[in-house]
């Protein structure tokens, strides 16, 4: 069954109309898309012009009152202006209420403000669809994730594994310069919490991000890593200097188990 999504704005004449058409264009097969306004006005002609330029179907766009939809259940309601965000009570039974504040392009001259709004919406919708385009696994929630990341050692472990794909306990112990039992305790916590999974290859055990990790968690880890590129420089240099570094696919008859 398609999820129902509603874009809500004051006049339902520009921003929410652009969002409705763009969402149908990007993911119409997965969502039933509607838009409405608190005080509906005639759709601005520039909406049709900008959508046509972008090759987006602008048919069936018309202004609608939010009050006319208040008895319907929506999976997601996204408000696009501050005034509309104050009226979310109309859709209090929705599964998700989200606010994106976009400047109204109507008072500005020409098509440029409408093009800018369309591209801003495209970026927001692309991220929304990337993070919500799959069935979410019951791994951990945001509170639990940020508690995990609040510990400096666990954060460095996660950043190293996010960067290197897979690491052994032995190599983590060497580059972090902490005891093996301490590293193992943190790895066990991350594994039991569903963030990491272990992989045995011969006598070695490697840790990597869990295969069923939701996209939003992977995106969060990647954002932290790329937004702070120098945070594990020391550890990366130590890894590159390890003469006996173990990687998945490595096997050695004389090696001892590291768990």
Count how many Cα atoms sit within 13 Å of the Cα of residue 254 in the half-sphere of its side chain.
Answer: 1
196 Cβ contact list (under 8 Å, min separation 6): 161, 187, 190, 207, 208, 209, 210
Which residue of the set 54, 56, 88, 129 is catalytic?
88
SS3 state of residue 17: helix
Is 201 in the active site? Answer: no
Which residue of the set 43, 81, 161, 239 is catalytic?
81
Is 81 in the active site? Answer: yes
DSSP code string of 105-159: -TTS-SSHHHHHHHHHHHHHHHHHHHHHSSPPPSS--HHHHHHHHTSHHHHHHHH
Is 62 in the active site? Answer: no
Which residue of the set 5, 6, 8, 9 is catalytic?
9
Catalytic residues: 9, 81, 88
């Amino acid at each position: 069954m398609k999820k129902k999504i509603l874009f809500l704005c004051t006049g339902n004449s520009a921003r929410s109309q652009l969002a409705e058409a763009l969402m149908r264009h990007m993911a119409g097969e997965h969502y039933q898309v509607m838009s409405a306004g608190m005080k509906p006005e005639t759709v601005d002609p520039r909406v049709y012009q900008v959508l046509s330029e972008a090759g987006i179907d602008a048919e069936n766009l018309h202004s609608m009152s939010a009050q006319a939809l208040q008895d319907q259940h929506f999976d997601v309601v996204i408000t696009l202006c501050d005034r509309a965000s104050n009226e979310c009570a109309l859709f209090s039974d929705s599964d998700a209420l989200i606010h994106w504040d976009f400047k109204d392009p109507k008072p500005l001259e020409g098509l440029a403000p409408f093009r800018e709004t369309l591209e801003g919406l495209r970026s927001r919708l692309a991220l929304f669809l990337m993070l919500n385009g799959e069935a979410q696994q019951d791994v951990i929630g945001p509170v639990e994730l940020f508690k995990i990341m609040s510990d400096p050692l666990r954060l460095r472990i996660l950043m190293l594994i996010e960067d290197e794909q897979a690491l052994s306990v032995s190599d983590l112990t060497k580059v972090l310069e902490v005891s093996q039992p301490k590293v193992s305790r943190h790895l066990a916590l991350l594994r039991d919490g569903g963030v990491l999974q272990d992989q045995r290859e011969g006598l070695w055990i490697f840790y990597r991000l869990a295969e069923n990790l939701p996209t939003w968690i992977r995106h969060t880890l990647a954002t932290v890593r790329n937004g702070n590129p120098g945070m594990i420089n020391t550890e990366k240099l130590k890894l590159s200097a390890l003469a006996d570094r173990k990687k998945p696919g490595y096997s050695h008859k004389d090696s001892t188990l590291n768990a």
